Structure 1
Amino acid sequence: MIDNTPLTVGPEVSIRDALVRLDRSRLQVVFVEDAAGRLIGAVSDGDVRRGLLAGAVLEDRVSIVMNPSPATVPPTATQDDVDALKSERGIRIVAVVDDGGRMIDVVGEGERIATPLATPVVLMAGGRGQRLYPITKDIPKPLVPVGDAPMIDIILGRLRDQGFRRVHVSVNHLGHLIEEHLGDGERFGLEVSYLHERAPLGTAGALAQLKGAADTEFVVMNSDLLTQVDLRRMLDFHRRTSASATIGVREYGFEIPFGVVRREGDRVTSLAEKPHHRELVSAGIYVLEPEALSSLELDEYCDMPTLLARLIAQDSPVRAFEIHEEWIDVGRPDDLERARQAWERSTR
């Protein structure tokens, strides 16, 4: 986040005064904001030059020479979105604006978008990690090392790098070790708080503690996932589709190891030798609106499929967002080894 004051002027200032501000701008552009702070234009040296050639004078209002359609992206935009817009319009600078049209950041040439997001993330970390036993006998699965860092440290680092700042961690099994390790999150550049499960509550039960407290959409993610998924893009999809809930999904392929026989009555109609099937499966990443929690009760067990089925039964819009990036569910020892190999490759 930057202080935009040196980069902005009002529409009533003179072209001369805007040039003074432009000369001091690190980006060689100034942005024009109305009285309510909404972005209404941008002015570069080229805009001023073209305006003067068309007959404007230095004492005219800057609004007559500004570009009234500056390049903008929402806070949920990804770096790919920014790069594509720059390429499409042949520009070097993109403004980040909120839903009210106010500029909250600027991405200049060679810079990366890093606008902090108000959207919180809930990491589900209360499970016992039984499929990784005995590794998880005395250590909760989120603290199992992958490379030189616990799994949850890698997840938190990726969340921070994407602009997230608030994280709730649901804890139960050996939860005190997770709390001791993460603390308040300050060393990760995050604000970390905890949802305490007195007993195992499933993959959605702990979310009941957010009823009445959540005032915006939030991300829910299993804490045994190592993925490069761009959550900003998923958030943007969720908002654009007006979803009550969005499920991250992946394509999963499997082969039936036998010849499959199809029939009508006792008449064989076809044979397929070891056919390969593909299905979409849940990736353990969700975006939920606050109202999606209305059916949950405190300390009541509920898994995520049950919660989503309730929403579907109520005709609430539940959307699917396809994930194509690297994704590893660290559930079994061979998954852990695969995650460690992937981490090693990424740090070479």
Structure 2
Amino acid sequence: MKALFLAGGFGTRLRPITNDLPKPMVPIMGKPLLERNIERLKSYGIDEIVLSTCYKPHKIDKYFEDGEKFGAKINYITEEEPLGTAGAIKNAEKFLSDTFLVFNADILSDIDIADMIRFHKEKGAMATIAVTRVDNPSAYGVIEHDDDSFITAFKEKPKPHESKSNLINAGVYIFEREILNHIPGGRAVSIERETYPLLLEKGFKMAVYDKCSYWLDLGTPGKYLKVHKDILKGLVPIGNYDFGENRVFISESAKVDRSANIRGPVYIGENVVIGPSAVVGPNTVLFDNAFVGVGAKVEDSVVWDNVNVEKGAKVMNSVIMSNCTIDKDSERCNSVLTENSSHPIAV
């Protein structure tokens, strides 16, 4: 089975993190989100990947190349202009055969792909849509279904009295190839507003897969911080890190002064140096080659590679991007820091 990742989003709400990076290339625990999702897919034995790109596609192509070094076979298709979810799927038609998977490339979830595939086959559906529950569905398009898990309606941003459903599209799909016959080519097509209602109208079976306990769209800097905190707490499986009972992971190559105070949950990457009397954590991730100076403090933050937090500096609830320096005795709170600017994070 092949998997198509829709990796063309502009990541506008995630700026400035996405000023120079496609959203799927934003690092999660030091590796691009897309790489994390491909790793997880491979654990289910799926290693034939199609990447549909649009925004800064060369950044994705250059990193993944043909996929060999990641143990996968990767093909690319690029949108000259955004085509919408269904349009992007139609655009990748030449690479797709039989039953195939589709993923929005900007989400993290704990969906059991093998179980979802079994469910799809048991239902004999044209399409199976993974769903997640939200407290306030009025901000989303919700999905209604019958007692047999077959979809009966799609409702866009319903008012409280207009739908009893709180299920929304989780951005993971299984499709039969026949669905491509019902998507027009050469233009933008919304899968939610055009394709799905058309399939319902024509009487095709569409099923909801409702077994997702963790789901997060990496949409904003605040959510970027949240996903790392969730990983540190063990709420979503990423990598093979042994955090132990105290939820502390320190790489073997890190150098941590004995007088430093490491407060879990925390992740400390390769070749990180933490100086005397420094405080790191809780809810903190330090990517490779970061430096935390004497008496400096970093908590509730994600610090990318090659960052220098100088003596006495404080970093709180912030994202510090690669190659930045936090000056001696200065403070960074509730912000995203790039090499050239600082931007506030909504808290």
Decide: shared fold, TM above 0.5.
yes
Specify which of 296, 308, 318 is matched with residue 196 of structure 2: 308
Specify which of 216, 236, 240 is matched with residue 328 of structure 1: 216
Q: Are 1:184 and 2:184 counterparts? A: no
Q: Distance in 2 between matches of 1:222 and 1:173?
A: 14
Specify which of 96, 101, 105 is matched with residue 223 of structure 1: 105
Secondary structure at the counterpart of residue 182 of structure 2: coil
Retained in 2: the 8 A contact 1:126–1:172? yes
Q: Distance in 2 between matches of 1:150 and 1:255?
A: 30
Deviation at 1:255, TM superposition (A): 9.5
Secondary structure at the counterpart of residue 343 of structure 1: helix
Which has the larger Rg? 1
Q: Are 1:166 and 2:48 counterparts? A: yes
Q: Deviations over 1:61-118 (max 9, x none)?
A: xxxxxxxxxxxxxxxxxxxxxxxxxxxxxxxxxxxxxxxxxxxxxxxxxxxxxxxxxx
Q: Which residue number in structure 1 is paired with residue 132 of structure 2?
A: 250
The AA in structure 2 aligned to 1:187 is K
Deviation at 1:210, TM superposition (A): 4.0
Q: Which residue number in structure 1 is paired with residue 317 of structure 2?
A: none
Q: Deviations over 1:10-29 (max 9, x none)?
A: xxxxxxxxxxxxxxxxxxxx
Q: Are 1:130 and 2:18 counterparts? A: no
Q: Distance in 1 between matches of 2:42 and 2:69?
A: 11
In structure 1, list runs of 5 or more residues that go unmatched: 1-118, 257-276
The AA in structure 1 aligned to 2:115 is R
Q: Are 1:288 and 2:170 counterparts? A: no
Matching of residues 75-154 of structure 1 within 5 Å: 119-154=1-36
The number of residues matched between the two structures is 210
Deviation at 1:212, TM superposition (A): 5.9
The AA in structure 1 aligned to 2:203 is D
Structure 1 residues 254 and 209: alpha-carbon distance in aligned structure 2, compared to 1, 3 A threshold: closer
Q: Are 1:297 and 2:184 counterparts? A: yes
Q: Are 1:155 and 2:42 counterparts? A: no
CA RMSD across the alignment? 1.8
The AA in structure 2 aligned to 1:298 is G
Deviates more, 1:140-149 or 1:298-307: 298-307
Structure 1 residues 255 and 198: alpha-carbon distance in aligned structure 2, compared to 1, 3 A threshold: closer
Retained in 1: the 8 A contact 2:51–2:75? yes
Deviation at 1:213, TM superposition (A): 5.0
**Structure with more helix by fraction:** 1
Q: Distance in 1 between matches of 2:44 and 2:118?
A: 13
Deviation at 1:200, TM superposition (A): 0.5
Structure 1 residues 187 and 255: alpha-carbon distance in aligned structure 2, compared to 1, 3 A threshold: closer
Q: Distance in 2 between matches of 1:212 and 1:337?
A: 38
Deviation at 1:297, TM superposition (A): 3.2
Retained in 2: the 8 A contact 1:183–1:192? yes
Q: Distance in 2 between matches of 1:159 and 1:344?
A: 21
Secondary structure at the counterpart of residue 253 of structure 1: coil
Structure 1 residues 213 and 126: alpha-carbon distance in aligned structure 2, compared to 1, 3 A threshold: closer
Q: Distance in 1 between matches of 2:177 and 2:188?
A: 18
In structure 2, list runs of 5 or more residues that go unmatched: 139-163, 235-240, 244-347
Deviation at 1:215, TM superposition (A): 2.6
- Scaled by the length of structure 1, the TM-score of the pair is 0.57
Structure 1 residues 254 and 210: alpha-carbon distance in aligned structure 2, compared to 1, 3 A threshold: closer
Q: Which residue number in structure 2 is paired with residue 340 of structure 1?
A: 228
Secondary structure at the counterpart of residue 121 of structure 1: strand
The AA in structure 2 aligned to 1:328 is L
Retained in 1: the 8 A contact 2:137–2:167? no
Secondary structure at the counterpart of residue 203 of structure 1: helix
Q: Percent identity?
A: 30
Secondary structure at the counterpart of residue 178 of structure 1: helix
Q: Distance in 2 between matches of 1:291 and 1:121?
A: 16
The AA in structure 1 aligned to 2:178 is E
Retained in 1: the 8 A contact 2:110–2:212? no
The AA in structure 1 aligned to 2:130 is G
Secondary structure at the counterpart of residue 183 of structure 2: coil
Deviation at 1:214, TM superposition (A): 2.9
Retained in 2: the 8 A contact 1:147–1:344? no
